[in-house]
Structure 1
Amino acid sequence: MQFAHDRDKERYVHEVFSSIAHRYDLLNTTLSFNRDKYWRKFTVRHSGLQPGSAGLDVCCGTGMLALEQARVVGMNGRVVGLDFCENMLQKAVDNIKRTPYQGVIELVKGNAMQLPFEDNTFDCATIGFALRNVPDILKTIKEMRRVVKPGGKVLSLELAKPGAPVFKQLYYLYFNHLVPLLGRMGVGQNGPYSWLPTSLKNFPHQSEVCELFQKAGLADVYYHELTGGIVAVHIGIKR
């Protein structure tokens, strides 16, 4: 799927996530065989956050990665979750209400490419399963770097492209064919989960994402491949 303008992609992605917000968490857990929880914990474990820190989660969706940050920063810390989709933010409100962290997490409606925060505000910035959905990947990473304090980290948890023979073929068979089918059964409509394989196909390889982190001005950039390389966590430091 090709978009003539950035606004076209932004509009389409907004429609997709608005339509699946009510089932997003359940389907994420089901389609990832419950590995999504481990992936989020791994990401925050490498974020450098400590009790009392201030964290930002960009494209926070239903708030699950922001909640993982809150568990680390604790009651004296601060976490901001930002998303442009009202339905996802409402689901995040519902999720956070069921935890002790309502006073820790602030939810903000905003655009990942124009973050409404001052320079050097947060100890880290994360983005989970959303970098492939933004119209301009480099601009988003630059914005995340801008709002992080010197010495802080920028992290992306994202779908990746496994390279191991046989496993790779099995994974793409599942991802390209079964995931859209299961997603359609879960949300009761065609379209939203067909976007997943399309978005990954158009997304750079994890080594190229590393280069984008460096181009955005981040230092000591590296990445971890998890679960056979089906996801990757990219990490860079603001010097």
Structure 2
Amino acid sequence: MTEQTQQDGSTSAEQTTHFGYKTVAANEKQKLVAGVFHSVAQKYDIMNDVMSFGVHRIWKRYALEMAGIRPGQQILDLAGGTGDLAALFSPRVGPTGKVICADINSSMLSVGRDKLTDLGLLGNLEFVQANAECLPFADNQFDAVTIAFGLRNVTDKDKALASMCRVLKPGGRLLVLEFSKPQHEWLSKAYDLYSFSLLPKMGKLIANDEDSYRYLAESIRMHPDQETLKQMTLNAGFASCEVFNLTGGIVALHRAFKA
């Protein structure tokens, strides 16, 4: 049997899913996504600045402020990659707190560890290679869990959201910062033109990898829209979820609370 991939990115018993616009075996997606990020890790930060015109830094700062992080808290940053959010969280939690930067991809973690070492921020930071679908942490461990521009690459998003809920303390916060669906037709058309015409060419020029950035553009289009992801979050066990559209909905921040 062959499964039709669900809108929310989940898979049925037939175990197929999407990798960009391609249909692949669910157990193959993790390896394919790993290949993308092994390929782009060294140029990832440069490409983020170029392809977002630096605006990704504003989006991440917004997520930081919405997280409400305080000294002494325990923070898990999933798909933490090159450490942008971890670097922002570290001074907020201070010497009595802890930030775990977790990523499934060893190449991204290596780049992040080197970068944050150079910034002198390792005192309250820990790097862990982990799969968001089966987090290797105790129940009720973290005050906040964040995942920025990583959920769309997860094979089973429902399982990952439930795992995030499990490791949060009661009253803890989940923040999902992710590309989403533009709220205006003219913006959507302009965004499509940019994503499929210019973005792969920038990937080829800067990272020598056109295919990976074509996949990234496709993965954004296959990601659940704002309302679908909100409902998935509630289904995963969160008591409430708010959605904040940024840059006309090109990016959305979902903030959910555990009961």
Which of 79, 87, 107 in structure 2 is aligned with 1:87?
107
Q: Distance in 2 between matches of 1:173 and 1:75?
A: 46
Q: Distance in 2 between matches of 1:122 and 1:108?
A: 15
Provide the residue aligned with 2:28 in structure 1: 8
Give the 4+ runs in structure 1 shifted more than 3 A.
none
Which of 200, 204, 228 in structure 1 is aligned with 2:224?
204
8 Å CA contact 1:60–1:127 kept in 2: the answer is yes
Provide the residue aligned with 1:166 in structure 2: 186
What pairs with 1:1-239 in structure 2 (closer than 5 Å)?
1-239=21-259
Count of equivalent residues: 239
Q: Distance in 1 between matches of 2:91 and 2:27?
A: 35
8 Å CA contact 1:70–1:101 kept in 2: the answer is yes
Q: CA deviation at 1:46?
A: 1.2
Q: Among all aligned residue pairs of Structure 1 and Structure 2, give the percentage whose two residues are the same amino acid.
A: 36
Q: Distance in 2 between matches of 1:3 and 1:81?
A: 30
8 Å CA contact 1:48–1:152 kept in 2: the answer is no
What SS does the aligned partner of 1:191 have? helix
Q: CA deviation at 1:73?
A: 1.2
Q: Deviations over 1:150-179 (max 9, x none)?
A: 000011000011021322211111112211
Q: Distance in 2 between matches of 1:215 and 1:30?
A: 36
What SS does the aligned partner of 1:103 have? coil
Q: Distance in 2 between matches of 1:76 and 1:101?
A: 14
Q: Deviations over 1:39-78 (max 9, x none)?
A: 1111121113111111001111111111122132123210
Q: Distance in 2 between matches of 1:103 and 1:149?
A: 23
Q: Distance in 1 between matches of 2:31 and 2:181?
A: 26
Q: CA deviation at 1:189?
A: 2.7
8 Å CA contact 1:75–1:101 kept in 2: the answer is no
| Superposition RMSD in Å | 1.1
- Using structure 2 for the length normalisation, give the TM-score: 0.89
Query: Which sits farther off after the overlay, 71-80 or 156-165?
Result: 71-80
Q: Deviations over 1:19-41 (max 9, x none)?
A: 10000011001111111111111
- Using structure 1 for the length normalisation, give the TM-score: 0.97
- Unaligned regions of 5+ residues in structure 1, if any? none
Q: 1:4 to 1:168 in 2, by over 3 A?
A: closer
Q: CA deviation at 1:184?
A: 1.4
Q: Distance in 1 between matches of 2:191 and 2:211?
A: 20
| Counterpart residue type for residue 147 of structure 1 | V
8 Å CA contact 1:157–1:233 kept in 2: the answer is yes
